[in-house]
Amino acid sequence: ETGVTQSPTHLIKTRGQQVTLRCSSQSGHNTVSWYQQALGQGPQFIFQYYREEENGRGNFPPRFSGLQFPNYSSELNVNALELDDSALYLCASSLGASGGNIQYFGAGTRLSVL
Amino acid sequence: RKEVEQDPGPFNVPEGATVAFNCTYSNSASQSFFWYRQDCRKEPKLLMSVYSSGNEDGRFTAQLNRASQYISLLIRDSKLSDSATYLCVVTPNTGGFKTIFGAGTRLFVKA
């Protein structure tokens, strides 16, 4: 086990709603990255938080936002849900924000938007 | 052109076979390279980092060719348990953190 936990495991929402996904990082890790993985695709980088600050962002609209807390756990918020937001959302924690750091993934939250 | 491209697959091989996956990347300033493995409906897990000098871990060998901008993964003596999707991962030097995953190559090892 990686020690990275995500909640909830599954979620069903309707178009236009808002959702919050949560991630607890591995003990000692100060960095959390979030990814969206559509069926049959590789994970797409959404953003990274390092010591409570956004440290990098992929090509996702502003309705995807996040937070990192002092204990380094993190939230991903998605507003105005669209059907295409249906995917597996993964968080990964690492010790440091360098690209060379190994990322440890949680089991993900599977979001379905109807 | 995608930033990271992998062999589309799937690869179907018998147990004991040797199989090679290739991955190309477009950003020549990319810094870090990895291979992750993802089992069906599970999270990705690190298989190995890829170093400029090449590296080996048991039956797995990874190579990096910076001049041609590709990385490779060789699996020798394939086992049934190697059946999974193999994801190529590149971290470009963009000033802020960014990680790019390839779409993955599916491997089926059959008895």
A100 and B94: CB-CB below 8 Å?
no
| pLDDT average, residue stretch B18-32 | 90
A4, A105 in Cβ contact below 8 A?
Answer: yes
- Confidence class for position A6, pLDDT limits 50, 70, 90: very high
pLDDT recorded at residue B96? 65
- Residue A110 predicted with pLDDT over 90: yes
B46 and A102: CB-CB below 8 Å?
yes
- Confidence class for position B46, pLDDT limits 50, 70, 90: very high
CA distance to A62, A103, B58, per residue, from A23 (Å): 20, 14, 33
B97 and A100: CB-CB below 8 Å?
no
Strand residues in chain B grouped as ranges (E): 4-6, 11-14, 19-25, 32-38, 44-49, 55-57, 60-65, 70-75, 84-91, 100-101, 105-110
- The answer to whether B111 contacts chain A (CB < 8 Å) is no
- Residue B94 predicted with pLDDT over 70: no
| pLDDT average, residue stretch B76-94 | 92
Strand, coil or helix: what is A83?
helix
Residues of chain A numbered 48-77 and touching chain B (CB < 8 Å) = 48, 50, 55-58
- A108 → chain B, closest CA residue: B43
| pLDDT average, residue stretch B17-38 | 92
| pLDDT average, residue stretch B74-87 | 98
| pLDDT average, residue stretch B72-84 | 98
- The answer to whether B2 contacts chain A (CB < 8 Å) is no
- The answer to whether B101 contacts chain A (CB < 8 Å) is yes
| Chosen from A4, A30, A32, A45 to mutate, greatest number of chain B CBs within 10 A | A45
pLDDT recorded at residue B2? 83
